[in-house]
Structure 1
Amino acid sequence: MIPLSSQAPAPGAARILVLGGKAGIVRKAAALGFEVVHVQKPSAFDPDVVAHCAQLLLVDYQDVPTVTALVRALHEQQPISRLFTQTEAAQAVAGHLTDTLGLPGNSARTTRLLHDKPALRALLNGKGIGPVPTLTDPGREELRDFVATHGAAVLKPTMGSGSLGVRKIHSLGETDAAWAWREEFGLDTFMVEQLLVGRELSVESFSSQGRHRIVAITGKDTGGGVVELAHVVPAPVSDDERESVGDLVTALLDAAGLADGPAHTEVILTADGPRVVESHSRRGGDRINDLVRLVYGIDLEEATYRLALETDPLPADCPARGAAAIRFLVAGPGLVTAVSGVEDAESAEGVVQVDVQVSVGDTVHELRWSEDRCGYVMAYAADTGTAERLAREAAARITITTTPLADTSPATLGDLLDEVDEVLNPFATTTQ
């Protein structure tokens, strides 16, 4: 444990624990005057976080027995008033620790439900909340029968985010190839659901003492694949669609028992009405928080920490002012040999931010999940259509040139998780 003193909290400040997250997220907690205890994986340590912490523990927060013992000891020595996390990998652990310490916030039941996709689907189907046919760990013939019955399906891990390990099966003829891919990828525990067809959205909500408020609806573009290539806030939806989506998400959050903080729920507008894809007890990734802040003036990350100060940290009224869009950069697989057009994109109309995350000498992989994207362009405009256009046009000014590599051995699920030092189920080997 590292005691720190470069940013002293105010006398009598609430002591909170922040599990995981980048330096910028921790900085927001410190800026509110909290005494911040930060728990981070050693592999994810960023020296920039030091200035924002009263204490820093470098420990694998997905090692449940170890982090439980450490946090319990910290709490006994000097009580923690609230525990927060804004990263997917730590959600279930945060719920467990919240229960262990007897703190207000989302319970282990809720955070596990929103992390365990079959469990959430079973809950929703059991309550008749947008039912979707599903199977968990089917055999090859069961998978074939499922696709034959429903016409198309999506195969995915039972936990995780960022489109990791997700594959669409459009017809019965694709089933055997999908099964072979699953075995090669190392996806041993998985689920299959009827493929939902329609416009894709996400709903950004915020809850306080079990009362849910829809903050924004985000429009999405996957280009027909599974990895998200663009977002826009607000989404182009009708009043009726907005109401039906809001009702669906509110019913989900009630059923899951979400008490406090943001939720990010992915929805598809099917011909039979909106259907939930999955939901998470955190704010949306992919810079969606920045889009919401630009349009509605609400920072969901900061609002989350404010739960330790006030019952309802959101303003009473926050109408949309304009629209904001993000377009992600992609490139062909291979070794990056040149990057051009960045300054041209930065000077384009409406552009708020450009972030190119690869440089010459880096390797670009095929688009397997969100981590394989190469950066983004964010734009702001008076309306949704214009914001989308400006982001798309600015992104088109950037060229990332690659040359193919000889070694194209496919990565497994384990390989990709090792790269980010995460496990899908931190409770798989413990009874904590």
Structure 2
Amino acid sequence: PFRETGHVLPAPVPAETAAEVERLAQAAVRALGIRHGITHTEIKFTPKGPRIIEVNGRLGGFIAEIVQRRTGYDMVAAALRLALGLPVTDPDPARLHGDRVTFQYLLVPPAGPLRPGPPALLDDLGDLPGVDLVDVSPPADWHTDWRRGTLGAIGTVYGSAADHTELRALIGQLAERLDQFWRDPDVPRTGAPRLIDTVDNSIDLSIL
């Protein structure tokens, strides 16, 4: 199944692809007659090029958080100022495309009726180079349901890497440790979802 497994900034796409995505998102917003406020547009890459999934008149989930971690820019404050008719400044493009890759990796369960192991199995995730914060809080009696998508995540790993190649290696290490966390002796393991494997398939774009 296609599920959201995290966010990467900047996205690992060529500059010309990023420009095409931006043009498509802007065209979609204009076609809807939106002239004021903030939008969250989701776009999927297809063999025929990028295609719109949906346009939302709101901030995207998790997007404001990763932008603020990356640039210091507060998208929530900007959205509120827009709603109040107050002027806003744009985020600094140089900080959006800096010298490191910022990521948020959602701890989404693999497909199947699995039950998470004890949280202690995840205690050392924060020791991996590049991991800044691990936010995990699965209830002891909680059973996973991969069909809940992002809502089924038991937490988030926050961090950064020197480049996308280093990020792939880091996500691989995280996924290997998560494979030990998800357990059910009667169900074959499918492996923890890997953020970087799906990031090439879709992209989120927020426009002020």
Q: Is TM-score (shorter-chain normalized) higher than 0.5?
A: yes
Contact 2:134–2:156 (8 Å) recurs in 1: yes
Gaps of 5+ in 2: 187-208
Match of 1:272 in 2: 48
Q: Deviations over 1:316-375 (max 9, x none)?
A: 654322211222222552444523332211122111221223132212123342212222
Equivalent residue of 1:367, what SS? helix
Aligned with residue 247 of structure 1, among 13, 16, 23: 23
Contact 2:103–2:159 (8 Å) recurs in 1: yes
2: distance between equivalents of 1:368 and 1:387?
Answer: 26
Please state how far the C-alpha of 1:258 moved relative to its aligned partner. 2.1
1: distance between equivalents of 2:116 and 2:19?
Answer: 45
Match status 1:325 vs 2:103 = yes
Aligned with residue 357 of structure 1, among 137, 140, 161: 137
Please state how far the C-alpha of 1:274 moved relative to its aligned partner. 1.5
After superposition, residues 181-196 of structure 1 pair within 5 angstroms as none
Match of 1:310 in 2: 86
2: distance between equivalents of 1:305 and 1:227?
Answer: 30
Give the letter aligned to residue 267 of structure 1: I
Match of 1:384 in 2: 164
Q: 1:366 to 1:312 in 2, by over 3 A?
A: closer
2: distance between equivalents of 1:393 and 1:379?
Answer: 13
Q: Deviations over 1:14-73 (max 9, x none)?
A: xxxxxxxxxxxxxxxxxxxxxxxxxxxxxxxxxxxxxxxxxxxxxxxxxxxxxxxxxxxx
Give the letter aligned to residue 22 of structure 2: G
Q: 1:395 to 1:244 in 2, by over 3 A?
A: same
Q: 1:273 to 1:299 in 2, by over 3 A?
A: same
Contact 2:10–2:101 (8 Å) recurs in 1: yes
Equivalent residue of 1:261, what SS? coil
2: distance between equivalents of 1:356 and 1:294?
Answer: 19
Give the letter aligned to residue 30 of structure 2: D
Q: Deviations over 1:232-277 (max 9, x none)?
A: 1111111221221111111101111223333221112223222111
1: distance between equivalents of 2:28 and 2:169?
Answer: 33
Q: Deviations over 1:70-114 (max 9, x none)?
A: xxxxxxxxxxxxxxxxxxxxxxxxxxxxxxxxxxxxxxxxxxxxx
Match of 2:13 in 1: 237
Q: 1:316 to 1:359 in 2, by over 3 A?
A: closer
Equivalent residue of 1:363, what SS? coil
Contact 1:351–1:394 (8 Å) recurs in 2: no
Contact 2:71–2:92 (8 Å) recurs in 1: no
Contact 1:325–1:391 (8 Å) recurs in 2: no
Aligned with residue 147 of structure 2, among 362, 367, 370: 367
Question: Does 1 or 2 have the higher relative contact order (CA < 8 Å, sep 6+)?
Answer: 2
Q: Between Structure 1 and Structure 2, whose CA radius of gyration is higher?
A: 1
Contact 2:126–2:133 (8 Å) recurs in 1: yes
For normalisation by structure 1, the TM-score amounts to 0.38
Aligned with residue 295 of structure 1, among 42, 60, 70: 70
Match status 1:227 vs 2:29 = no
Equivalent residue of 1:376, what SS? strand
Contact 2:104–2:159 (8 Å) recurs in 1: yes
Give the total of aligned pairs.
180
Match status 1:347 vs 2:122 = no
